[in-house]
Amino acid sequence: MVLRTIPLPSKEGIEMSDVKDLREQQEVVNLLDQLINGDTYSSIQAAAALAAVGEGVENSLLALLTDSGTVDRWNVAMALARVGTPAVDGLITVTATGDDAVRNPAVWALAEIGDARAVEPLAAILRESTSECCRALTAAALLKIGDPAGIAAVEEELATHGEAFEGLVMEAYEGT
């Protein structure tokens, strides 16, 4: 995926604050590029740097997570998890998609953040998803968040789907 550079304003009326804003925007674009196209170490560094940018960067990350051209959504999910609470509402919205390639990284990021607002939407995914992988990852996320309603939803699913499903859930839980 090729990230665009930010267009420069016309020469008339450029203020020093405009130059600073453009430099900061270009830095974010460069970090997003590093997150997606860099090696493992530089992607981890970019995720941390993007989280440090502050409020608003989650919108760029969420757009990248849902972009069909994004190859490594897990790196984006890692950055969103580091952003934390400001990313929760957007991640919940993303989990409503039926595309597991987008949904699963979003579920993982919500588990890492651990915000209770995600419990009911995740419980709905657990009950409704037809993908066993997605359901196992979602159950693990609910266990990790630790909210009693989420744990109850997982226990209900485990009782319904047996030992094999429980094994998948525990494997996902230990890996999250």
- Over residues 68-116, the pLDDT tens digits come to 888 889 999 999 999 999 999 999 999 998 789 999 999 999 999 999 9
pLDDT at 2 over 90: no
Q: Is 158 exposed, middle or buried (0-12, 13-18, 19+ CB in 10 A)?
A: middle
pLDDT > 90 in the chain, percent: 74
Residue 11: pLDDT band with limits 50, 70, 90:
very low
